Amino acid sequence: MIPEQHGLGEITNENASNNGNNTTTTTTSSSVSSTMATVRKHVYSNEYGSNNGYINNANSYSNGLIHNHNSTNNNVKDQSNFYSTLPLPSLISTNKPKPLLASSRQLKSRDSNDDIQLIVEPLESESSNSGTDPSTDMWLTGEQASCLTAGEVEWQLQSNLREGLSWKEAENRRGILGPNEFVVIEEEPLWKKYIEQFKNPLILLLLGSAFVSVLMRQVDDAVSITVAILIVVTVAFIQEWRSEQSLQELTKLVPPSCTCIRAGQVNTFLARYLVPGDIVHLNIGDRVPADIRLFEAIELSIDESSFTGETEPARKSPEPLIKAGEEGSVRNIAFMGTLVRCGNGKGIVISTGEKSKFGEVFKMMQAEEAPKTPLQKSMDILGTQLSFYSFCIIGAIGVLGWAQGKAFLDMLNIGVSLAVAAIPEGLPIVVTVTLALGVMRMAKRNAIVKRLPTVETLGCVNVICSDKTGTLTKNEMTVTCLLTSEGCVADVSGVGYNSIGEVKIRNSQYADEADVKKSIHNLLEIGCVCNNSVISDDVLMGQPTEGALVAAASKFGLHGSREKYIRLQEFPFSSEQKMMGVRCVLKDSAHVHPSEEVFFVKGAVERLLKQCTKYQEFDVAEKLTTKKEEEILSHAYELGRQGLRVLALAKGPTFQDLVFVGLVGMQDPPRPGVRACIQTLVASGIGIKMLTGDAQETAISIATLVGIDTLHGSCLSGPEMDKMDEGVLQQIIPQVTVFYRVAPKHKLIIVKALQNQGLIVGMTGDGVNDGVALKRADIGIAMGKNGTDVCKEAADMILVDDDFKTIVAAIEEGKGIFYNIRNFVRFQLSTSISALFLIALATLMDIPNPLNAMQILWINIIMDGPPAQSLGVEPVDHDVIKKPPRNVKEPMITRALITNVLLSASIIIGGTLWVFKREMSDSQITPRDTTMTFTCFVFFDMFNALSCRSQEKSIFTIGFFTNRMFLVAVTASIVGQMLVIYFPPLQAVFQTEALTFGDILGLLLLTSTVFIVSEIKKFFERRSGRPRKYYASKRKDLEDLV
């Protein structure tokens, strides 16, 4: 039987034989007259043109007649070329035609008088479409292939299920379609990445100020600013480059190898060389190398949790579907990147690379633009503010000088100099170093951060959308509850496929502990013997359900149960029977009493009970009554309500005479510590939403276990979202805490809806279906160990050990970083304003400048140097996690910050001018006058830096010695100041003279006022109780939730 192509119109081909001469007649209906072509009789080859321009359901030839079956034209891609590309069968050859994947307008001919050649001459309307991409018809989507038989797919892709493609044909196809890999955006060269660092608005402002300094012939300022800029961009570049190097170890976009049939031979080669039409073998433990239409599946189960979120592997079968589903698993398709958990199979590659389901998500992800981080926006605003203030300074001084009758150019020179000095060139250094140190600290805690600003973004997140499978849970089925037929209940601790954990008896029904343990032993023994899974080095080879039973047995100390028996026969699980059984004999009795066979069976409760005639009552088989059966079903129902998957286990001499032994409840449990993390996040004002592909019952059960509020928040499914318009979704989504049965498109809708509400969204995930949402979120967080490559590519941060607790630490780090930057800004601005006003007042009041040029340079070094930089590395206050997320609309320079800056600056200016006035009582400026004024200003700076270490807490609370770098910086600055005062060579340079001990003591007492006033202000702010009330309300909310 030879497949036929079926299109829009009705086609009838009548074939006849006349003395070896073959004639072919083609008739088309008038409904497709616009696509008719002219057919002429010529020498016909047994090779046929391709089906270029369409993909359609194939039918079959029989007895020389062509019959149209009940198929539709849903898959027709290019209807105008349909008839112009329709190949006719050879009446001589009995083999199935295998059209080449080439242009249908290039039909070959042979020098034979016995053959007929078909030449198709398209109409003009068809010719206009001849420039279409031939590669569009060389692959099939999963939806298309799932509705076709294996033979139809074979014909569509012009392959051979037994022989595969030839090496030459595969090479030709790869030349057209490209390799089986994703086209990642080309990396920019290093020099270009370095130049990108200069696009920061604050850096551009500093470059402008350096240029102005050169024009004003202030070369020293220009050099110092340029050096600062180079330090900033170099540190940022090196840190981001290091993060990229770490990521390269995690990035493997396609499986490395595959087993494929080429030219009739089984070969193993890199998966990137696969093309549509290749025949691939799949075995347990393999990663599926491309989208594959299965034509053979032997007990084949594939873990598709990265796509669907379902922990339980999907069972596969080769039969075609009646109707393709839009989302979720397709039983006859194996998708790229999924994992073969059980069995083996064969299939034909239908799509590769970006044409695959995996690739569709990857392209969606690349189409999404990653938004700017809140810190970047804050720095942009700060740069604008500083530029505005600088121009105000220039304008004010220019106007005042002009009003006093001074030369305009002189006043302009002074104004520009002060404006340049006002711009804190140390700020970009502090921001970069602070972020870099945060990235390094996060790396030590197993979190890789791709870009520096990402760390601070976590401090602004006010809602986290978390994937369930693999993120909140480990994606490892685990037995959590055992219930024997006697009614005894035991809890199983530990998570995953390992022996870490124990079995604790909760309810013994007043029986002897030894008897209860014996019953549990019998229950777990059945689970081990009726099992095909193996756990090696905590890695499961087989079904997750069976792996959970093996792990539970090992926690109970039961090892080697399977080896005690010889398996005679296996009754595999099927969706109809919902049971699996094995027929065994004991090894010791195999030769003595071979007739003593035992059936070990596990399966669905309601199905297994029908095969049971008795139940076990402490080693005694009692008759299974209706009342006992109802009791067992009631227990199973209660376990199911807890979100557990329930299995019944039994054994007996025959399949129809089984003894019920007990129930096992299992689930994909939450990761250890996740509940505590979520409680901490909720208490700090961060909303948690769970997104999963699971069913509603499972989703709500896990959400409740991890502490997500399912009482006050509602649940919403993906299909329900599809029925709502955008406006309704915008209103509903913020109120929903659990989303179930969601697809990648739904996750993207959720993230966008939350962002449109002005929320900063963090998204965590590990599967392919999370990639697009991760890219769109303000910060995407991927799992590094079990996460897919699409996730790692899309995410901003990767948790190497998949530990959800790291997110809490990262949020703490992000909040701390911003407050450290703000502390530096406060110190920098208060010092800058003080220096500016000292010089400006002296200039405008026609009095001598209290500081000379070298002294101003020294103050600038302190202002932008180690004491200021050390504020950026202040250890993160652990109480910062209790604070609400930062309001991203709030600028870096707030009203409260300006108040603190002006308060500190007024004290510094007043104290310094008082000392200068007092020392200059004779109206003559001496080295002592400037030395006292200079030292006074420096000491004010040191005490001001001490008070800026925290905006709320007292220095006596955070400790004098917690920031060692600050201690070193301040000590070095004071030692340097003493050298400037007492070391003769430096005295000559700075024009200073030695001061007495009384002078130093008096200055210390005076300058400490800035610190004392700041501490008093913070004390009264703490007493006001505003933060306390907020945190108390949040704690109350948390208590209500728990």
Name the residues annotated as catalytic: 467
Cβ atoms within 10 Å of 559's Cβ, excluding its own: 12
CB 49 within 8 A of CB 88: no
3-state secondary structure of 951: coil
Distance CA 306, CA 327 (A): 13
3-state helix, strand, coil in the chain (%, to 5): 45, 20, 35
Helices in 147-189 by DSSP H: which ranges? 150-156, 167-177
With CA atoms as reference, report the closest residue to 455 among 467, 447, 463, 466: 447
3-state secondary structure of 320: coil
Cα dihedral sign, 688-694-697-701: negative
Please list, in sequence order, all residues whose beta carbon lies within 8 angstroms of the beta carbon of residue 531, skipping any fewer than 6 positions away: 542, 546, 549, 550, 562
Which amino acid appears at position 801 of this protein?
A: D
CB 776 within 8 A of CB 480: no
Query: Residue 361 corresponds to which tokens in the numbers above?
Result: 């998500």
Rg (CA), the chain: 38
Q: What are phi and psi of 536, to 5 degrees?
A: -130, 120
| Own/partner pairs, 997-1006, CB within 8 angstroms, 24+ separation | 999/932, 1000/935, 1003/915, 1003/932, 1003/935, 1003/936, 1003/939, 1004/939, 1006/911, 1006/915, 1006/936
3-state secondary structure of 564: helix
With CA atoms as reference, report the closest residue to 360 among 54, 743, 779, 53: 743
CB 400 within 8 A of CB 387: no
Helices in 757-804 by DSSP H: which ranges? 771-776, 789-794
Distance CA 589, CA 583 (A): 14
In the 3-class helix/strand/coil scheme, how is 38-101 assigned residue by residue? EEEEECCCCCCCCCCCCCCCEEEEECCEECCCCCCCCCCCCHHHCHHHCCCCCCCCCCCCCCCC
Q: Where are the beta strands (DSSP E) in 727-855?
A: 736-740, 761-765, 779-783, 797-799
Q: Where are the beta strands (DSSP E) in 468-578?
A: 478-484, 489-492, 503-507, 534-536, 539-541, 565-571
Label residue 475 left, alpha or beta by phi (over 0 means left) and psi (-120 to 50 means alpha). Answer: left
- Annotate 109-128 with DSSP letters as a single string: --S-SS--EEEEE--HHHHT
Distance CA 899, CA 895 (A): 6
Label residue 588 left, alpha or beta by phi (over 0 means left) and psi (-120 to 50 means alpha). Answer: alpha
CB 792 within 8 A of CB 662: no
- HSE at residue 338, side-chain half, CA atoms within 13 A, is 35
Report the DSSP pairing between strands 478-484 and 714-717: unpaired
Q: What dihedral do alpha carbons 358, 364, 366, 371 form, nearest 10°?
A: -130
